[in-house]
Amino acid sequence: MTDIRSDASTASGNYPAAPEQLLARAQAIEALLKERGALGDDTVARIVAAYESDIGPLHGARVVARAWVDPAFRQRLLTDATAACGELGIGGLMGEHLVALADEDDAHHVIVCTLCSCYPWAVLGIPPGWYKSPEYRARVVAEPRAVLAEFGLTLPASTEVRVMDTSADVRYFVLPRRPADTEDLDEAALAALVTRDCLIGVALPKSPR
Amino acid sequence: MANGFLRNIDENRYAKERLAPEALIRCGYWELWLAALEMNLVENGVLELAAIRERERRADPGATAPAVAPDGLHDAIGGLIAHGVDMASQLSEPHRFGAGERVRTRVSNNRRHTRLPSYAMGREAVVVSRLPAFPLPDAVAHDPGGQREWTYRIRFEAEELWGQDKGGSDAVMLDVFESYLIATTPAVAGSVEEAP
């Protein structure tokens, strides 16, 4: 393996920079790419719109609610989450290989990417700012109970906390347990209980009562 | 990546890792992305650094004549978002480790790109699942045609990573490439010991 890319000189002296300088730099790069025929005026806006309006945590909530009401679907989800999500039309970029981590009576899961910010975009959209912060990434592996408590989630000592560090190509999300006292809720009402934070594992779905 | 300017995500991660330590610590999240994108575009021969620097000093650096996307670009981006890029493959050699097997992670400080976090180097774990083969980040950060390896989900007990004071009942799971792992079972008598 040759070390052909060890030089960071293109960045040296230019980072960190003032916010207005960074904005000008980003605008300069986009403008140069447009002038060379590589991008259109609406290319970036189209990508932003896809993740602002089409793809987000409602996808993951639909998957969880279906698993709660349909035991056969739940089994397929745990066997091959990519295929099971595909049944609901959910998949794509950063969702090519999905695994659902099922919480149990005595085990709770929480996901992180300590090395960068890998996240199941196809199921959850774009990650929240705190998920990408150095503080969350460093702390949740080393002291998960303290971090969860700061999110308002205190788990009994008898519950094992399993932190999933997303370090390769599989993308993970949490399948929480169905809250008690929700027997009379239909699938859509159940999906409304499942927030983004529940799918990351820093919160638990709550019964509306 | 739909237009071929960027080769893979690992060259981008590696660009961030090559920034000077004080820049890595002081830059914001999106600032790191901008720095890495700029490095990748310049190194891949898409844009010249001098042209970016000249342009960003103008009064209105984003001003351009109306620009139409090249044919097929938006369809390619739409396809990328809808279908992703499946990088998984099978290898002719079987997985070296099986579920339930005890393994130890390697220790490496070669300063090249890797996806084995330092907190998880040199620690014992158990294989939870065998996963498909994917391009090895350590190789493709330099060479887009670099080799593929099997991957695994492994489980560390919290005590193994953080010591006795930390969560005796808790665990960290990590996905790793096969070359990050060493067997902990003793070699069979007469077999050749693998160099560490």
Contact A161 B175 (CB under 8 A): no
Total length of chain A:
209
The DSSP bridge partners found for residue B181 are B105
**Same domain for A93 and A136?**
yes
For Cα atoms A103, A107, A179, give the angle at the middle one, nearest 5 degrees.
45
Segment B11-25 mean pLDDT:
90
Identify whether residues A107 and A152 lie together within a single domain: yes
Residue A117 designated active-site: yes
pLDDT band at B111 (very low <50, low <70, confident <90, very high): confident
Do A45 and A70 fall into the same domain? no
Residues A30 and A62 in one domain: no
Residues in chain B with CB shorter than 8 Å from the CB of A43 are 69, 73-74, 77
Q: Which domain range does residue A43 map to?
A: 19-52
To the nearest whole Å, the CA of A60 is away from the closest chain B CA by 16
Does residue A16 have a cis bond before it (omega within 30 degrees)? yes
State whether ipTM is beyond 0.85: yes
Judged against a pLDDT cut of 70, whether residue B116 lies above it is answered with: yes
Residue A9 falls within a domain, yes or no?
no
* A166 close contact with B: CB closer than 8 A: yes
Of A52, A74, A93, the one marking the end of a domain is A52
Same domain, A135 and A172: yes
Q: Is the pLDDT of residue B168 over 90?
A: no
A179 with A126, same domain? Answer: yes
pLDDT of residue B5: 84
Does residue A75 form part of some domain? yes
Q: How confident is the model at residue B188 (pLDDT cuts 50, 70, 90)?
A: low
Q: Are A104 and A160 part of one and the same domain?
A: yes
Residues A181 and A155 in one domain: yes
Q: What is residue A13's predicted lDDT score, i.e. its pLDDT?
A: 80
Residue B37 has pLDDT above 90, yes or no: yes
The CATH fold assigned to B1-61 is: Cyclin A; domain 1 (1.10.472)
**Count of the separate structural domains present in chain A:** 2
Specify whether the CB–CB gap between A45 and A180 falls below 8 A.
no
Task: Quote the minimal CA–CA distance from A209 to chain B in Å.
Answer: 31
- From chain A, pick out residues whose CB is under 8 angstroms from the CB of B26: 16
**Catalytic site residue A198?**
no
Domain ranges of chain B: 1-61, 102-183
Residues A182, A123, single domain; the answer is: yes
Q: Please tell me the distance in Å from B171's CA to the nearest CA on chain A.
A: 5
Is A170 in Cβ contact with B29 (below 8 Å)? no
- DSSP state, B180? G
B144 cis-preceded (ω within 30 degrees of 0)? no
Residue A141 falls inside a structural domain:
yes
CB proximity list for A79: less than 8 A, separation 6 or greater: none
**pTM summary value:** 0.92
Same domain, A178 and A140: yes
CATH topology of domain B102-183: SH3 type barrels. (2.30.30)
Residue that finishes a domain, picked among A52, A67, A94? A52
* Interface A-B: count of C-beta contacts within 8 A: 231
Pair A25, A67 in one domain: no
User: Domain boundary residue among A52, A72, A96?
Assistant: A52
Per-residue pLDDT 10s for chain A (209 aa) are 444 555 666 777 889 999 999 999 999 999 999 999 999 999 999 999 999 888 999 999 999 999 999 999 999 999 999 999 999 999 999 999 999 999 999 999 999 999 999 999 999 999 999 999 999 999 999 999 999 999 999 999 999 999 999 999 999 999 999 999 999 999 999 999 999 999 999 999 999 88
| Co-location of A43 and A104 in the same domain | no
Residue A40 domain-assigned (yes or no): yes
